[in-house]
Amino acid sequence: MNIDTSDRRQLETCSNVLLLAPLTPTGTRACFELLAATTPPEEANVAAVTYTPPPETWISDWRTHVETLPAELAFVHANQVQTAGDDDLPEGVTVARVDPNQPMDIIAPLTEQLTRWEDNGNRSLVAVQTLTILLEYVDFDTAFRYLHILTHRVEAAGAIGFYHMDPDIHDEETVNTLKTLFDAVVEVGDDGESWSVTETYGDRSATSDHVQTHDTDVSLPDSGDSLFSTIRDSLSGLFSGSETTGPSSDSAVESATGNGTGAERDGSAATGDSGVGDLPDGAMLTDEDRIRELLSQYGGRMKQVDVTEETDWSKSTVSRKLSKMEEKGLITRVQVGRGNLVFLSGYEPETTKSPFEGESS
Amino acid sequence: MNRPGASPHRIPHSMSESTQTETDTEASETPTVLIVDDEKPITDAYAKWLEGEYEVRTAYSGSEAVDQLDAAVDVILLDRRMPDLSGEDVLDEIHARKLTCRVALVSAVEPDFDILELGFDAYLEKPVSDADELVETVETLLRRSTYDVQMQRFLALANKKAALETKKSPEELEASDEYASLRSELADLRARLSDTATRLDDDDLRVEFRDRTD
């Protein structure tokens, strides 16, 4: 693959990146590590636009994957359910709680935040997690226009935006249509091992595909500070953990999530081929507890097919158990694209507008 | 991927995209404003304020307005209460003819909830005593209109490109002239949209999203 000078120049002005990754802990991890690799946390202002996991969950996941919190951190949390952890946020972290149905309620505070950071000497990054949930709230056309304005504002502020989306949930046409709004697309496979970077408006040959050959790519010329090379470098090291833990990508996922959420779990949890949901005291957990545990590891929402995969129960068993849980109000299921998304109670998209508007910080 | 919630006046854009794109995005074109009020002095005063900046047409009644309406009109300042055809009747006619002009309803009546149903773009309370206020309103509508038209076109092209990518193999795409020109038009339009978006303030954007999210 050759990237000529003009391509590289374009990549250097790259401001908005679509991150196609599964809606799993692997995807979250990819998102965080990409952010951290673009700019060291000590020099970064991070504005996170979040939908389901509350800020405190975001922060603990970040600490698991990256450790050092960004120099400046602000949330625009598009979910009006108050969570208990609000008072425990680290000092200086702000949260604007907004109505996810109103795109301008997200754009306006985000723009203000980026303006406040403009001259503080750090690089500003925006993480939108995730478009998959955003598309639950507004129709496609509105989402498209909203994202156009958002990407424009991010670019105007000299920031870099990362927008996560699970490509398996949406049809190919939807994903391809959205791609036109971004400068580059980074795709991380389900296994977290295969990935590619494509420049949306450049030469189509400027695509780098990598499947477990991260460090053998030497054909790319050194392109200085371009975002493209930063992304490339960051991805090279992204899933290096999985190379040392053997061929099973599950084990990599597990060790990552095990560290993050397993305060009550002991270290021996990360044993080989067991799934995320297999806890050492699994025998003591009811099936419902197990599903809830899984859901919280996934950030409060996951695909129904992932529940099936993680538990090794049959599709119909999972469906039956989830129906029961839904009846009890423990979870909510929403049909998205080709399948169901399962939301832990308190994390679900609100179908009706909440009377509570405005900000809290 | 159509917007079911869009207000009627927006729908026509997709039907005359190509002509509209040209009239709205070419800087050399002077925008056309149609002023409609049955009180002649008011109409003439507005015309005087706007003449330097725009191509101005005037109508002293609803039926005259209907005669003056055509695709060249970008913005219409429309009195709500008129004896023969009311402003609302003219609005109906605009929607029926699928015209793409932006409408500022001008009225001495304080706006009430009923006006939300009417499908217009701005509401000016009479009396409008200030030329700046009028120019400001026209400029705002033109700005939004330009963005909306470009966005509509961009979305249509993005859809088309995505559809091709879904159906065709990479080799077929590589060989397709249509695909190549789609890509370059998209890139070009994206740059122009970015310029337009720079001029939009938060109020413009709230309006841009208002019809979609309610």
B118 shares its domain with B186 = no
Q: Which residues of A touch B205 (CB under 8 A)?
A: 104, 107, 149
Residue A37 lies in a domain: yes
Q: Domain total for chain B?
A: 2
**B128 shares a domain with B87:** yes
| Residue B50 sits in the same domain as residue B102 | yes
Q: Which pLDDT score, from 0 to 100, does residue B59 have?
A: 97
The boundaries of the domain holding residue A73 are 5-243
Task: Check B194 against A152: CB less than 8 A apart.
Answer: yes
pLDDT recorded at residue A273 = 43
Domain presence at residue A66: yes
Q: Which one of B123, B142, B161 terminates a domain? A: B142
Question: Based on the domain organization, do B18 and B124 belong to the same domain?
Answer: yes
Same domain? B78 vs B152: no
pLDDT score of A226: 58
Instruction: Give contacts of B200 with chain A, Cβ < 8 Å.
Output: 149
Question: Which of B3, B166, B198 has its CB closest to that of A172?
Answer: B166
For A297, residues 6+ apart whose C-beta sits below 8 A from its C-beta are A25, A257, A260, A261, A276, A277
* Torsions phi, psi for A155 (to 5 deg): -65, -45
Structural domain includes residue B27: yes
Say what the pLDDT of residue B70 is: 94
Residue B2 lies in a domain: no
* Contact state of A180 with B5 under an 8 Å Cβ cutoff: no
User: Considering CB atoms only, which of A142, A152, A204 is closest to B197?
Assistant: A152
CB contact under 8 A, B202 and A201: no
Is A34 contained in some domain? yes
Distance from CA of B163 to the nearest CA of A (A): 6
Q: How far lies B192's CA from each of A24, A57, A76, A271, B145, in Å?
A: 37, 40, 29, 55, 14
Does some domain include residue B67?
A: yes
Residue A258: per-residue pLDDT: 38
Rounded to a whole number of angstroms, the distance from the CA of A55 to the nearest CA of chain B is 25
Rounded to the nearest angstrom, the gap between the alpha carbon of residue A33 and the centroid of all alpha carbons in its chain is 10
Each residue's pLDDT expressed in tens, for chain B with a length of 214 residues:
444 433 433 333 333 344 444 444 444 479 999 999 999 999 999 999 999 899 999 999 999 999 999 999 999 999 999 998 999 999 999 999 988 899 999 988 776 666 666 677 888 888 888 889 999 999 999 998 889 889 999 999 999 999 999 999 999 999 999 999 999 999 999 999 999 998 888 888 887 777 554 4
Instruction: Report how far residue B212's alpha carbon sits from residue B11's, in angstroms, rounded to the nearest whole number.
Output: 12
The residue from B142, B177, B200 where one domain ends is B142
For residue B30, the 8-state DSSP code is: P
CATH of the domain at A67: 3.40.50.11570
**Do B129 and B66 share a structural domain?**
yes
Q: Does B135 lie in the same domain as B34?
A: yes
**Nearest Cβ partner of B205 from A107, A139, A178?**
A107
Contacts 24+ apart (CB under 8 A), B117-122: B118/B88, B118/B91, B119/B7, B119/B8, B119/B9, B119/B91, B119/B95, B120/B9, B120/B78, B120/B91, B121/B9, B121/B207
Q: Which two tokens stand for residue B69?
A: 């309406």
Same domain, B161 and B196: yes
To the nearest whole number, what is the mean pLDDT of chain B? Answer: 83
pLDDT for position A283: 57
Tell me whether strands A339-344 and A94-97 are parallel, antiparallel or unpaired. Answer: unpaired
Evaluate whether residue B3 is within a structural domain. no
B154, two tokens: 């961009």
Per-residue model confidence (pLDDT) at position A235: 57
Length of chain B: 214
Please check whether residue A238 is in contact with residue A256, taking contact to mean a CB–CB distance below 8 angstroms.
Answer: no
* pLDDT-flagged residues of chain A (< 50): 1-12, 204-206, 210-224, 238-279, 352-361
Cross-chain Cβ contact A180/B213 below 8 Å = no
Q: Is A138 within 8 Å of B213 when comparing Cβ atoms? A: yes
The amino acid at B121: D
Q: Quick check: A104 and B194 CB within 8 A?
A: no
The last residue of a domain, from among B142, B161, B189:
B142
Mutate to test the interface with B, among A145, A174, A181, A357 (most CBs of B within 10 A): A145
Instruction: Report yes or no: B119 and B7 within 8 Å, Cβ to Cβ.
Output: yes
pLDDT of residue A229: 61
Task: State the residue range of the domain holding B158.
Answer: 143-213
Residues B101 and B112 in one domain: yes
Crossing angle of helices A249-261 and A287-297, in 10° steps, is 90
Claim to verify: residue B171 and residue B135 sit in the same structural domain: no
ipTM of the complex model:
0.73
Give me the half-sphere count of Cα atoms (radius 13 Å) on the Cβ side of residue B77: 33
pLDDT digits (tens, 9 = 90+) for A251-296: 333 333 334 343 333 434 334 444 444 445 555 778 888 888 888 8
Residue B109 maps to which CATH number?
3.40.50.2300
Contacts of A103 in chain B (CB under 8 A): 209, 213
How many domains, in total, are found in chain A? 1
Identify whether B58 is part of a domain: yes
| B171 shares a domain with B129 | no
**The pair of three-digit structure tokens given for residue B169, joined into one six-digit string:** 């193999």
CA distance A182 to A164: 12
Of B187, B194, B200, Cβ closest to residue A201: B187
Between CA B187 and CA B189 the distance in angstroms is 6
Closest-CA distance of chain B to residue A185, Å:
14
Are B62 and B166 in the same domain?
A: no
Is residue B152 situated within a structural domain? yes
CB B143 within 8 A of CB B199: yes
In a domain, B1, yes or no: no
